[in-house]
């Protein structure tokens, strides 16, 4: 069974896991929760955006600029399929 290589990389797996539980999350919240730097999050979020899995939205709250991340529909489907594949592998008896 093949695991999606875009998701299976550790930092991207963490980003996808967090976003799968949310409608959308602020960039700084994801960064703080995963305890990674701005540049690492930015790099992996861009890779996920390029794969069509994550949407990056820039906006303002008052005068402060904010960036929001959310899973796209294909991203949510890919993550669901990824988790189901993992669960199937884990349930398989060793041969």
Interface positions with other proteins (CB under 8 A): 3, 8-11, 13-14, 17-18, 20-26, 28-29, 32-34, 61-62, 76, 79-80, 83-84, 86-87, 89-90
Task: Specify whether the CB–CB gap between 77 and 94 falls below 8 A.
Answer: no
47/83 with CB nearer other proteins = 83
d(CA 31, CA 93): 37
Residue 33 CB, nearest distance to other proteins (Å)?
A: 5
29/43 with CB nearer other proteins = 29
Contacts of 32-36 with CB under 8 Å at 24 or more apart are: 36/11
């Amino acid at each position: 069974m093949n695991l999606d290589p875009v998701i299976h990389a550790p930092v991207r797996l963490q980003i996808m896991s967090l976003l799968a539980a949310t409608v959308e999350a602020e960039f700084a919240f994801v960064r703080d929760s995963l305890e990674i730097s701005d540049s690492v999050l930015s790099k992996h979020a861009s890779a996920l955006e390029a794969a069509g899995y994550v949407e990056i939205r820039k906006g303002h709250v008052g005068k402060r600029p904010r960036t929001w991340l959310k899973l796209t529909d294909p991203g949510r489907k890919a993550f669901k399929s990824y988790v189901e594949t993992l669960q199937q592998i884990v349930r398989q008896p060793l041969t």
